[in-house]
Structure 1
Amino acid sequence: MTIASGIGSMPGDDQAAYDDAVRLVLDQLPDLPHLPEVPGRGAIANMTGRALAVMAELGADLQPAGWRLTDAAGVDHRRARSLLGQDLDTLEDLTDGYTGAFKIQVAGPWTLAATVEKPRGDKVLSDFGARRELAQALAEGLRVHVADVRRRLPGVDRLVVQVDEPALAAVLGAKVPTASGFGRHRMVHPPEASEALAWVLDAVTEAGAEPWVHTCASGTPLPLLRTSGARGISVDLGLMTAADHDALGEALEAGDTVALGVVPTLDPAAAPTDTEITERVLRWLDMLGLDPTEVGERLVLTPTCGLAGASPAWSRQALELLAKAAAHLTD
């Protein structure tokens, strides 16, 4: 059967919003709920801060320009780790007795390299050795993180780790600005990009979880994600090219998962109906020559990206629509 899930981020700016988000995803997405991210709580809770909290061995601190690697964890890095621990405590309490599948998310090595600065400034992306070290630290940290989540959720028989790489296309296309803003960092060639991503995805697999890669940016080479070890690809259907559609079809036929973004991430002027969403997905499957009953749980319906910028009302409605559309495809 087709199932519904979320991308990760949810609206709100305090702990109560996080608690509500956990309850919402457990209620509306029973087949594949996820660990919510509520970046409105500050830099220690955003995508970068969350990934640095998972990262092993390296330290970081928050500077006026953003996160920067340091010799030892600074106060904000320690706060990010503490907040992640608190969020996992809440998740553990609210999922007591839960069984089934579950998904967690983490920023990928290339999005981190394009976001985090080296100790002396400028992005990690600018230094070959630094970006390798960051990717390896993330991979090692994920092994520990996955083990911790498994300990807290003993009833989970399928744990998905979604690696978020919204900056990968920019990294490969030499489109990431330098610190001055007047230049662009040199492109990273696909073999190096694949190698670093593979370290992270292999660590997920070795820890007994299922590695996915999510991107909400056009131009991301989807075949590279699969050859790097991704067993699931999460994308915005509206951004896909003809080549992307072919790559997604090949993934489904090979037994991998495709998570299809089909519901707006921000409050729309006119919300789609669950029937309209279902018909859109059916047209897409028909274009690929695939039957919804054959792809089953390998097709997952999601918002186009995270819901952090949405209103609480729309975030709830979006998940409700996805659940209903997924049920229609199963009928």
Structure 2
Amino acid sequence: MPPIGRGGSGALHLVLVSEQQRFPWPAASATGVGSCPGDDPDEMARTVFGELPELPHLPELPERGAGADLVGRGAALLVEFPVEVQPSGWRVVQRPGRDLTRAADFLSYDLDALEDRAHAYTGPLKVQVAGPWTLAASIELRGGERLVADPGAIADLCESQLEGVRGHLADLRARVPGAQLLVQVDEPSLPSVLTGRVPTASGYGTLRAVERVAVEERLRALFGAIDAAGALPMVHCCAEAVPIDLLRRCGARAVSLDATLLTRAADEAIGTAVEAGIGIFAGVVPGSDAVLSAPAANVDPVREMWHRIGFDPEHLAGTVVITPRCGLAGASAAYVREALAACRAAARVLRDEPRR
């Protein structure tokens, strides 16, 4: 990606290239994080494509139960790595069973609904997959401990996921041939993996932090596979202290986060990322039913950060995509439409931001 350079006034200016060339989404774009309420993939696909015509995403419906959840959807993409649901969560087993069949069926239903709605669609389309470190922190080994505690099991999981994601992207290409795919790797557990906060099986302790070099190696391999498939790799993490520098080094081309959690301490990492050509998906609208603020108020945290770092306002709407703060699975169907409309309105505010 071409860089952003510092002008003589201290503001940051793009060098020789516009955002439309740097990113596949149009300026003043909005999208969803992924999860939505309900159990009807056709209805939710219709809602998403109606409310987000310029940057739609594949809806996820975890309300349907085990297999439709984040980890279950990730498990459905694993190749020769069977897991099943235990009272404590997903666990590695010797052979696949009905839990994996149900997870694969849910994913198939969702992709069928996407194809029906978007087969002739041309433009950017975001899909989501569970990240390797969130899977490793969530799936249990046969003995009950989290998989993230075993380097050999991590290697097997990541290799299995790489193969599964490649096949998934090939399937998406066939279903929506005109789409420019953005692949959002969901990593809500990544900060806990890096800081040693994943609980042990007993619940009385925590597992040792995974070394950053190992974390980076696995993420770099996944992002590289996504990029090689002609898609844009990005990451979503709505936790505090998102490791933006690490994600940039691994090859993420965009980072999705909760903008209301950003502090001045993140300014340098965000500034470096944007200079490196990385897009920011800024969560500003509440993810569950709430009284929505005016569009300008919603994006105040983003505008304040942008001006604090010293970026030129001219490039704000092209670099930043507006989203809800996190998934909308806990919201009502009516609120989903309101929240996505609020994201669109907030994105227009960024486009109309005056130069300073």
How does the TM-score come out when normalised to structure 1? 0.94
Match of 1:260 in 2: 282
2:34 to 2, 5, 8: 8
For the 8 Å contact 2:132–2:219, the answer to whether it is kept is yes
Equivalent residue runs for 1:152-301 within 5 Å: 152-156=175-179, 158-268=180-290, 270-301=291-322
For the 8 Å contact 1:48–1:112, the answer to whether it is kept is yes
For the 8 Å contact 2:255–2:280, the answer to whether it is kept is yes
Equivalent residue runs for 1:88-103 within 5 Å: 88-103=111-126
2:346 to 310, 325, 331: 325
- Aligned equivalents of 1:227, 1:54: Cα separation in 2: 25
Q: CA RMSD in A?
A: 1.4
Report Cα offsets for 1:54-112 as digits up to 9, x if no partner: 12221111122211122222111011112211210111011131110000001101100
1:310 aligns with 2:331: yes
Give the Å deviation of 1:252: 1.8
Gaps of 5+ in 1: none
Match of 1:44 in 2: 67
Give the Å deviation of 1:165: 0.6
Report Cα offsets for 1:143-171 as digits up to 9, x if no partner: 11111111100111x21000011101111
For the 8 Å contact 2:78–2:160, the answer to whether it is kept is yes
- Aligned equivalents of 1:75, 1:279: Cα separation in 2: 47
Instruction: Give the residue type in structure 1 aligned to 2:268.
Output: D
Match of 1:137 in 2: 160
- Aligned equivalents of 1:109, 1:36: Cα separation in 2: 20
- Aligned equivalents of 2:53, 2:272: Cα separation in 1: 27
Gaps of 5+ in 2: 1-26
Instruction: Give the residue type in structure 1 aligned to 2:80.
Output: E
- Aligned equivalents of 1:256, 1:320: Cα separation in 2: 25
1:106 aligns with 2:132: no
For the 8 Å contact 1:172–1:187, the answer to whether it is kept is yes
- Aligned equivalents of 1:214, 1:245: Cα separation in 2: 18
- Aligned equivalents of 1:159, 1:96: Cα separation in 2: 13
Per the alignment, in what secondary structure is the counterpart of residue 138 of structure 2?
coil
Per the alignment, in what secondary structure is the counterpart of residue 284 of structure 2?
strand
Per the alignment, in what secondary structure is the counterpart of residue 36 of structure 1?
coil
Report Cα offsets for 1:24-74 as digits up to 9, x if no partner: 111111121100111000011000000111122211111222111222221
Percent identity between the two aligned chains: 45
For the 8 Å contact 1:136–1:199, the answer to whether it is kept is no
Instruction: Give the residue type in structure 2 aligned to 1:80.
Output: A
Moved segments of 4+, more than 6 Å: none
